[in-house]
């Protein structure tokens, strides 16, 4: 099952592309953007609730890696930490 948040992101991207193709200033382009915004506003709380109920390990790891970079760790530092973690877990 596709996660609602992923679907909303795809919908948002398609709406932006479609609005550009139709002309963002045209009535059709504005209507498409408004419909996507309405869907986002209405479905975002449900999507976030779904994300909270079904954590994704890949997403969690990406958040950890982003926090490590924000804290000033370089990729070699992160790689070394992952290698040390792997060595301790396999013993």
- Give every CB contact of residue 77 below 8 A, 6+ residues apart in sequence: 68
Question: Among 14-18, 33-37, 43-47, 55-59, whose mean pLDDT is lowest?
Answer: 55-59
pLDDT tops 70 at residue 31: yes
Q: What is the pLDDT of residue 1?
A: 46
1 secondary structure, DSSP code: -
Spatial contact of 52 and 20, defined as CB atoms under 8 Å apart? no
As a whole number, mean pLDDT of residues 53-76 equals 82
pLDDT at residue 11 greater than cutoff 50: yes
Taking the alpha carbons at both ends of the chain, their separation in whole angstroms is: 36
CB 4 within 8 A of CB 43: yes
Percent of the chain with pLDDT over 90: 0
Provide the CA 66 distance to its chain's centre, in angstroms.
Answer: 13
pTM: 0.49
Helices (H), 23-74: 27-53, 57-70
């Amino acid at each position: 099952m596709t996660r609602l948040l992923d679907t909303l992101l795809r919908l948002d991207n398609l709406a932006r592309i479609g609005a550009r193709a139709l002309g963002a200033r045209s009535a059709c382009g504005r209507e498409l953007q408004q419909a996507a915004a309405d869907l986002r506003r209405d479905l975002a709380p449900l999507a976030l609730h779904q994300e909270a109920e079904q954590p994704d390990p890949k997403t969690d790891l990406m958040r950890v890696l982003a926090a490590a970079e924000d804290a000033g760790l370089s990729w070699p530092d992160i790689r070394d930490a992952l290698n040390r973690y792997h060595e301790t877990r396999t013993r």
